[in-house]
A and B are shown apart, each in its own frame.
Chain A
């Protein structure tokens, strides 16, 4: 064979992929504006950290609240910035005429798509890296377990990867960069905010009838001497009303990235059974939604004894946040799996749309 470039000598897949990653980072990211953005982010996180220090009384109560809030803050900033940086990775290249010239080289479509994805992910991870000093500071303040640090950081990194994958994927699926960026934002918003709205509205829309049967002491007839202090009770009164059924829809919340991060972190509770960080509060809230409301409540004042002094008000029956947390089903791996599938699906779709020689072209688009 007289070819000057040996195609049989397989370049390792990763070599080509890394070439695309570096090319992408050089194109999109490198530049003064990027460092300014990162600097602004650093200052904002620093400011938030100082506020949290005072707000959570971190010196005494530990850095749990501070750590979890900064993690959420990185996720928020990541989902605000990442779509803009990744949402035009492929169609932007097509618009500026460099996609086709890359595709006629020996770079495969997977190398191209995955290279752009990795570059977008690394860009988002830079925000996590910029927040690292403050996360370390929170850990130094104490009360943050190693497991919490490891799990929440890892899950946050995965969630940032999912956002990058959706952005790059949509940029390969849609023709116009502006639309794919907007769609990426909408998908992220649907997961972050839309799940909350669906959960709230669907829960309220689905009401169940409840009956409360109660018989209280007959206050008009206090016990006389013959009764030996025993009160008589009135005939049972039945109230009917409705309650929202959030327990049907708690699964919707599992798809929320903030819930995934919060629910994945191992719960940490104080001696009263209250969460010590934001993760715990959110996870407890979400998990408590799993419990169905009691539809038939029966209250009989005379059951506990015979006098108002015997009634303890039922306060001891309420479970603590910790008990609620431990009794419920964790949902984060379901949510994370959905997100990973979503990201992988977007990338796969982008691959089939970008692969050459192209058979079907989206209407109104040019190959080159």
Chain B
């Protein structure tokens, strides 16, 4: 089924040239991104890069100074109600009405979205099951742990079955099992055709659930060419061998430059330009008699890009278009 929106634009998230100042502080200078329905995009950036400010603008809470935003085809500035009906926001600040039970909190949120009482109750039961909060349904929200509050916050964002989801640090405070559940849930929601934007510091997490990523540094989203350049820079691979001494000897014989190799407490790190070079070097190391027990990228794809862009951002501003 084709999703028709009034402006004819995308049904997901479309942001172009958005900026926002707080007095003299330029929280977001120029952000542009696109999230299509059915996809998950990671929003990545260092602390203070403007991720939350951008999220707040997408969530109809903050007006941008310049640029345009479309959520499900609607402008949050001129038609906030239309956006709110179609958008679910999970904030990075965990707040819940302390005297309400978990069930009441979700149900009330549904009612605030103008759902009839009965529909809100049904949807609440559904969400309690999805998020695994069912055993805590009658507990007051103030007794919840951080991770449980996180789940409640997610349930609230989903209560009106929105087309667009904005998740601000959804995985923080979750245990590994809950993270796996969250990952599966996010993938499933994307499979249902929702456009999802996830901001997170846990980049390995995003690697596994996001189709693409937007890098935000000092309020500017990185351009495609910057990302390509960062991805093509040298990347470290972790090498483990049964005997570190033999590995060191083997590295010497295969002719890897000393500037490419570093050793830390966990093992040896070797920098390669791409996977082909890494695979070729692995073959030669094995042939040279290094008994290799582990060989793989030290950091994930996103983390590598993120760290590289971050380095570029702090060493100079020439990369900013």
Contact = CB atoms under 8 A, between A and B. Distances in A.
B112 A358 contact: no
B56 A367 contact: yes
Given A104-B89, A106-B114, A23 B97 contact: yes
Interface string A166-195: 000000000000000000000000000000
Interface stretch (B77-85, B219-227, B246-254, B290-298): B77-85
Given A4-B161, A7-B81, A26-B100, A100 B61 contact: yes
B114 A104 contact: no
B63 A106 contact: no
B251 to A, nearest CB: 51
A16 interface: yes
B22 A361 contact: yes
Given A97-B94, A97-B95, A106-B112, A3 B85 contact: yes
Interface string B73-107: 00011001110111101011111111110000000
Contacts of B111: 19
A3 B95 CA distance: 27
Q: Which of A4, A26, A30, A108 has the most CB of B within 10 A?
A: A4
A106 B79 CA distance: 12
Given A106-B114, A368-B93, A359 B63 contact: yes
B57 interface: yes
Contact of A356 (B22, B60, B114): B60
B187 interface: no
Nearest to A108: B81
Query: Which DSSP category, helix, strand, loop or mixed, fits chain A's interface?
Result: loop
A90 B60 CA distance: 18
Query: Which DSSP category, helix, strand, loop or mixed, fits chain B's interface?
Result: loop
Interface string A1-34: 1111111010100001001000100110011000
B245 interface: no
B86 to A, nearest CB: 5
A106 B113 contact: yes
Contacts of A104: 59-61, 84, 87, 89
B8 interface: no
Interface string B54-72: 0011011111000000001
| Minimum-distance CB pairs A-B, first 3 | A97-B95, A105-B112, A357-B63
Given A19-B108, A106-B114, 14 more contacts: A5-B114, A26-B100, A27-B99, A30-B99, A98-B96, A99-B95, A100-B95, A101-B153, A104-B59, A104-B84, A105-B113, A108-B81, A357-B77, A358-B63
12 contacts: A3-B85, A5-B85, A5-B115, A5-B161, A7-B81, A19-B108, A101-B153, A103-B61, A105-B112, A107-B112, A361-B22, A367-B56
Interface of A: 1-7, 9, 11, 16, 19, 23, 26-27, 30-31, 96-108, 356-359, 361, 363, 367-368
